[in-house]
Structure 1
Amino acid sequence: MTTAEKIKEIEDEMAKTQKNKATEKHLGILKAKLAKLKRELINPPGGGGGGPGIGFDVSRTGVGTVGFIGFPSVGKSTLMSELTGTVSEAAAYEFTTLTTVPGVMHHNGAKIQILDLPGIIEGAKDGRGRGKQVITVARTCNLIFIVLDVMKPMSHKRIIEQELEGFGIRLNKEPPNIVFKKKDRGGINITNTVPLTRIDHDSIKAVCNEYRINSADIAIRCDATIDDLIDILEGNRVYIPALYVLNKIDAITLEELELINRIPNAVPICGSKGWNIDELKEKMWEYLNLTRVYTRPKGLEPDYSEPVILRSGHCSVEDFCNNIHSSIKSQFKHAYVWGRSVPYPGMRVGLNHVLMDEDVVCIVKK
């Protein structure tokens, strides 16, 4: 029996199994078996999973990378040209783009890399079309644009989410707050700081047993599910923000537009006519979680022409110094900051001060 056939067999058994307290443990074991088989399908024994492949390996540039994912002919290439000026071949037939087409857009003083990926189809995670190569590149992006045809957004959205989930990509989610530490002996020790309403200790131990884990400390600090636990045990999940780009809104009425505009994390646009591109750019900036910080040389006016771009979680004065030059930190005495991160303009701060978007910083050296 092939791996794909084994996956189908388990999925069929799960579909037939009633979900209740009595079957929780059994379903957990099935989900663990399924996760291991999918991992095997993605990365076959012997290294067949490899890299992204010819035409998909792109050198990275800029402060962030945005990858376009979508079915063929939804307008990814047209949108790419609108955002970057890069000509990615576009036509009214499927599979125009056959490899990754990179481009760079400039927004808020930052260089952001855009990757136009070939269209994917249902079954991409199992190797149909160029699905594995496309999704492998998507795993490395800082933000994913899921480009949808506005005439059939929900069906395509569901299929693409399934394909990305099957490849270990978690969209618009935070990693579960579970700490797992394997040990040589002592059995499975489970602690939880919040009540567990969707999983019990027996199910946790059964899943660990499926992974041949006999001794470990597991600290659960959220109302976790079996899927959360499996994600932690697999250890290869990536958590990426995503925007649903609803393209071709020129083909629908205002009433229909109001309905699709209720889809969470969505931006309606018309790439061919340039409609609502500015909102898409602002949403992209928000989801990339970038921070602009302007420099102010001592005794001079701030330089607003070229901001220093910092990523979320790396926005301290120390990060700002390291971004400019590694030697600045060793000469640092203190800094003065103007902006939203301080209660009054020109406040004196140290290296640990956390900066906010559009702050102005003046570094004073020893």
Structure 2
Amino acid sequence: MTTVEKIKAIEDEMAKTQKNKATSFHLGQLKAKLAKLRRELLTDSKKSGGGGGIGFDVARSGVASIGFVGFPSIGKSTLLNKLTGVASEVAAYEFTTLTSVPGIIKYKGAKIQMIDLPGIIEGAKDGKGRGKQVIAVARTCNMIFIVLDVNKPLHHKQVIEHELEGFGIRINKQPPDILLKKKERGGINITTTVPLTHLDNDEIRAVMGEYRLNSADISFRCDATVDDLIDKLEEQNRKYIPAIYVLNKIDSISTQELDLLYRIPDAVPISSGNEWNLDELLEMMWDKLKLVRVYTLPKGKLPDFEDPVVLRSDRCTVEDFCNQIHKSLVAEFKNAIVYGSSAKHQPQYVGLSHVLQDEDVVTILKK
């Protein structure tokens, strides 16, 4: 049997198995086996060039990258055109875009790369329609725009999430708060700081056994599910990526239907063709990317508010700021003068470890 056939067989067995206390151990084993097979599929894809190939590898530029994912002919190419001015081919038939098409948008002083990916279909995670290559590129992005048709958003949303999940992408989630420490001996020691309502000890031991972990300390600091436990054990193969559900073609629905769409979390209704509501989409994009703009203030000059240094929120110390400008600055660094919300008083003299916040103004003093 091929890996895909093995995955299908396990999924069929799980669908036929009723969940109760008597079957929890068996279901835990099946889910762990399924995760390992999916990892094998991902590894095989990388070895065979599934993450790239002609037209799929994209040279990265800008401070962040956003991949457009969706079914064929959903309006991804039109959206890229409207936001970046890049002429990705547009037509009213499926699979117009056959390669990755990049473009750049400058928003609030930050250059952000947007990548129009070929449309995916159900079964993409198993290789249908070059789906592995498409999702592999999406895994490398800082954010995903999941572009959906407003006339059938929930069904398409469910299918695409399932495809991305099968490739190790976790949408709008944080890694599970589980601590794991492997031991040489002593068996499995389970502790919890909150009650576990979705997971019992049999499932935990079944999953751990499938991963050949017979001795370990595991501490649950969240009400975890069996999928959370597997994600912890597979953490090297998991990507946690923020996403926005871009509900396209609102020009084809009524105002009442539009009101219902706003109830979908992390969603923005738009019309790419008519350029409706793109400002709201970009504002949500900015909030989710959590970028930090830092303005330079050369000694004796005015601040440069036109061209900020843009940092990722997980890399925004004064040292990161210096490295972004030029690596020699750290060696010559004496201290920095900071104005803005990160300063306790205006101005504040700080060192390299000081954490900067959005729209701080900084002067670097050299030795």
TM-score by structure 1 length? 0.94
Shift of 1:107: 1.1
Residue identity opposite 1:361 in structure 2: V
**Contact 1:42 1:49 survives alignment (8 Å):** no
* Deviates further, 328-337 or 54-63: 328-337
Shift of 1:340: 1.9
Aligned to 1:332: 333
Aligned to 1:18: 18
Distance 1:16 1:280, change over 3 A: same
Shift of 1:342: 2.5
Aligned to 2:56: 56
Aligned to 1:295: 296
**Contact 1:42 1:126 survives alignment (8 Å):** no
* Unmatched runs of 5 consecutive residues or more in structure 1: none
1:274 matched to 2:245 = no
Aligned to 1:173: 173
Residue identity opposite 2:343 in structure 1: V
Instruction: Please state whether the residue corresponding to 2:156 is helix, strand or coil.
Output: helix
Cα distance in structure 1, aligned partners of 2:193 and 2:84: 48
Cα distance in structure 2, aligned partners of 1:5 and 1:297: 62
Kindly provide the CA deviation profile for residues 17-59 of structure 1, in whole angstroms up to 9, marking residues without a partner as x: 2223333222111111111222233334993464322211111
Cα distance in structure 1, aligned partners of 2:163 and 2:301: 53
Cα distance in structure 2, aligned partners of 1:339 and 1:277: 30
Cα distance in structure 1, aligned partners of 2:342 and 2:21: 49
Cα distance in structure 1, aligned partners of 2:80 and 2:257: 25
Residue identity opposite 1:80 in structure 2: L
* Deviates further, 115-124 or 19-28: 19-28
Identity %: 68
Cα distance in structure 2, aligned partners of 1:361 and 1:310: 13
Instruction: Please state whether the residue corresponding to 2:13 is helix, strand or coil.
Output: helix
Q: How does 1:180-329 map to 2 (within 5 A)?
A: 180-234=180-234, 235-329=236-330
For the aligned residues, what is the CA RMSD? 1.9
Aligned to 2:71: 71
Distance 1:232 1:49, change over 3 A: farther
Shift of 1:309: 0.4
Cα distance in structure 2, aligned partners of 1:10 and 1:101: 36
Cα distance in structure 1, aligned partners of 2:49 and 2:324: 35
**Contact 1:43 1:50 survives alignment (8 Å):** no
Q: How does 1:42-121 map to 2 (within 5 A)?
A: 42-44=42-44, 47-48=47-48, 50-121=50-121
Cα distance in structure 1, aligned partners of 2:114 and 2:215: 45
Shift of 1:259: 0.6
Instruction: Please state whether the residue corresponding to 1:102 is helix, strand or coil.
Output: strand
Number of aligned positions between the proteins? 366
* Deviates further, 188-197 or 9-18: 188-197
* Deviates further, 71-80 or 275-284: 275-284
Aligned to 1:140: 140
* Deviates further, 257-266 or 347-356: 347-356
Cα distance in structure 2, aligned partners of 1:226 and 1:362: 50
Aligned to 2:342: 341
**Contact 2:177 2:220 survives alignment (8 Å):** yes
Shift of 1:172: 0.2
